[in-house]
Amino acid sequence: MSDAPEQPNGYKKYLPGGDKPMEPDARRRVWMVGLLCFLIGILIIPSLFSHKNVKTLSYSALVHDANKNLVFSSSINSSTGVITGKLKDGTSYTANGPNPVLPKEIDTLETGKNNVTFENPGNLLAALLPYIIWIGLFVGLMVFISRQAKGQMQGMLSVGRSKAKQFNQDRPKTTFADVAGYFGVKQEISEVVEFLKTPGRYKEIGALIPKGILLVGPPGTGKTMLARAVAGEAGVPFFSVSGSDFMEMFVGVGASRVRDLFSTARKQAPAIVFIDEIDSIGRKRGAGVGGGHDEREQTLNQMLNEMDGFDPSEGVVVIAATNRPDVLDPALLRPGRFDRQIVVPLPDLDERLPILVVHAKNKPLDPSVSLEMVARGTPGMSGADLANLVNESALHAVRRHSSTIGMEDFESARDRVMMGQLRDTMVLMDDERERVAFHESGHALLAYVLDKTDPLHKITIIPRGMALGVTMTLPEEDRHIVARQYLEDSLCMRMGGRVAELLVYGDLSTGAADDLQRNTELAIRMVREWGMSKEIGPMAWGSNNQVFLGEDLMHTRDYSDHTSQVIDDEVERILREQESRAIEVLTLHRRGLEALARALLERETIDGETAARLIDEAHGEQVHPEGTKTVSSLSGVGAASAKKVPPVTPVVPAPGWQPPTLPAV
């Protein structure tokens, strides 16, 4: 078998003798070219042969020869005036006579024994060719219009058909072995696959398989990949469709597609139906602003009926995925429809490592790479984030012209993902750069000194993303519940940048805008939702409902004006207390603050261990006698930049300014 190269027009051209048939469109083109050549040949070839061995005479010469009795025969074309015939010496001739032919010329040609005839021998095909061309163009136009109309009619008739894609055992190739972690999730889903493969084992004991399984989790946690693994593992038909595929501008189309989907699945039962992003059609009915959405509600009603209605589906298991379970209609979540909800959370430390191993298995890693350290340094990352991290590290290795991926590549990739893109082209003025150094030093010093904050990892004054500088902390382990003291230390640490500017410069800047916003939001939640205020007590106010559902847009406040004032006072008290704590700690460690700022101005980026050593040396003893509370760099080497600057000169606070004091208890 010989494979011919791909042609520019997208069709394959097979060589003579090949065992593959020619494409239908290619055969059509060959027929068209052949027909065109045939028509051209009919028109040209007769004209080539008709003038062979023919003597061309002028009309006067023909009349002269006729008067001398030298013309044997003449044939006059009455439509063109062309005269053809033979001379008495046997020579054929042709001449252009007058048109129309005059009787005087006819008498002249009939002199002697010349036989004069009249004919209209024009080429019949040539005469009919213009009509044939016009008729062909008309027929072709009608055929084209007919096909277009037929395609539109088919599209209109098939608008209610399901857009689900059916997969078999050969496609896709993803299996449970390709999904790292999530052992409980895979166990529950694998039970569905086993039931569909061997239903007899479950029926003997009277066990009923759930009709619907809802995968719930944040974006990027692998819900769709788990469904693809089910398709790869299942030996039954697998139908995959997105929730948005049911929606059209015509009311009733979505319901029709749901009926068609379940009808097709019943015919091939046992089967699995996977609906991705089911929240696009399964939102609560009647919750929209200004009324419901007819098409969405009809689609949802039809799905409720198909899953567990008067004629329930037998042998059809529905697996759906969403990251917004709070917006789904309660009727969709009741037993008999989606009996089981499986939470697919963000991976913890034990699950991030196998995920990294899966994504890095085909990449050339340097022997010094420790994926365990990378997993420990990436808390809160989803599976998609980890895949992007590995890819970014490979791109960084290519940029530095390395054939392997090293720890420095993972370090740079993590900084790129967590802190933003490096803005090398942004140049700060000297006074701005110094202020940023003190600002970040205030965050870093409090992160190291306070007991309940996350360990200090890295400080940089190189602009990244939207920030002019970044202080990064990393948790020692994944947190599932947060204590009040941890929240208070986090508030105090975020106050560090603002307070450092107050202590050093005696005034404020816009650099603490994001810190203040995040602190205010956290303090409001502490008071309103978590009951961490003595004045408010064990009460909570707040709503997780989204505005687009219409449930919170017209929501009225469920507490009095007095309570609102108490909440505002408590939020202010918490923030001022943490600001005062930050002032006390930074005042105590003022020399450490200046040492950190000087090091940042010299090297621009320092790691947590270097920052801890500078703070301890400036303090005169270890702040934490049990050991430094830091997380080392993934690469083990702090990024250094040999940009030398003069030593930092402390700025005297502006006269008349007094730092805030602790409120009276």
Going 573 to 576 to 578 to 580, the CA torsion angle's sign is negative
Kindly write down the DSSP assignment for every residue of 177-216, as one continuous string.
Answer: GGS-S-HHHHHHHHHHHHHHH-HHHHHHHT----SEEEEE
The architecture of the domain spanning 349-419 is Orthogonal Bundle (1.10)
CA–CA separation, 462 and 605 (whole Å): 7
Contacts of 247 (CB under 8 A, 6+ apart): 253, 254, 280, 281, 295, 296, 299
Structure tokens at 57: 């005479």
Which helix (H) or strand (E) segment holds residue 491: the answer is helix 484-494
Going 457 to 459 to 462 to 468, the CA torsion angle's sign is positive
Structure tokens at 68: 């001398």
Phi, psi for residue 477 in degrees, rounded to 5: -155, 165
What pLDDT is recorded for position 543?
53
Report the chain (665 residues): mean pLDDT per 10 consecutive residues: 42 42 60 70 59 69 74 72 74 74 67 63 62 78 71 47 51 70 78 77 77 84 80 76 63 70 78 81 64 66 72 72 82 81 82 86 86 81 86 89 88 80 76 91 93 87 83 78 91 94 89 92 92 88 50 60 91 94 92 92 88 89 72 44 40 46 41
**Residue range(s) occupied by CATH 1.20.58.760 in the chain:** 430-543+558-619
Q: Select 53-122's CATH number: 1.10.4000.10, 3.30.460.80, 3.30.720.210, 3.30.70.260.
A: 3.30.720.210
pTM over 0.75? The answer is no
Place of tokens 């730092």: 659
Contacts of 194 (CB under 8 A, 6+ apart): 201
Beta strand pairing call for 340-343 and 212-216:
parallel
Q: Under a CB-based contact definition with an 8 Å cutoff, are residues 155 and 206 in contact?
A: no
Q: Under a CB-based contact definition with an 8 Å cutoff, are residues 196 and 234 in contact?
A: yes
Closest by CA to 495, choosing from 465, 468, 522, is: 522
Catalytic residue chosen out of the listed positions 392, 440, 488, 604: 440
CA–CA separation, 88 and 73 (whole Å): 8
**Residue range(s) occupied by CATH 3.30.720.210 in the chain:** 53-122
CATH superfamily of 165-343: P-loop containing nucleotide triphosphate hydrolases (3.40.50.300)
CA–CA separation, 278 and 273 (whole Å): 12
**Residue range(s) occupied by CATH 1.10.8.60 in the chain:** 349-419
The architecture of the domain spanning 430-543+558-619 is Up-down Bundle (1.20)
Count other Cβ atoms within 10 Å, centred on residue 18. Answer: 14
CA–CA separation, 255 and 263 (whole Å): 12
Rounded to 10 deg, the angle between the 124-157 and 24-50 helix axes is: 170
Closest by CA to 76, choosing from 48, 54, 124, 109, is: 109
What pLDDT is recorded for position 462?
85
CA angle in degrees (0–180, nearest 5) for 17-22-25: 155
Does the active-site annotation cover 295?
Answer: no
What pLDDT is recorded for position 652?
45
Closest by CA to 65, choosing from 115, 108, 117, is: 108
Beta strand pairing call for 92-96 and 54-56:
parallel
Contacts of 260 (CB under 8 A, 6+ apart): 160, 161, 162
Closest by CA to 599, choosing from 618, 621, 585, is: 618
Closest by CA to 213, choosing from 322, 105, 313, is: 322
What pLDDT is recorded for position 595?
92
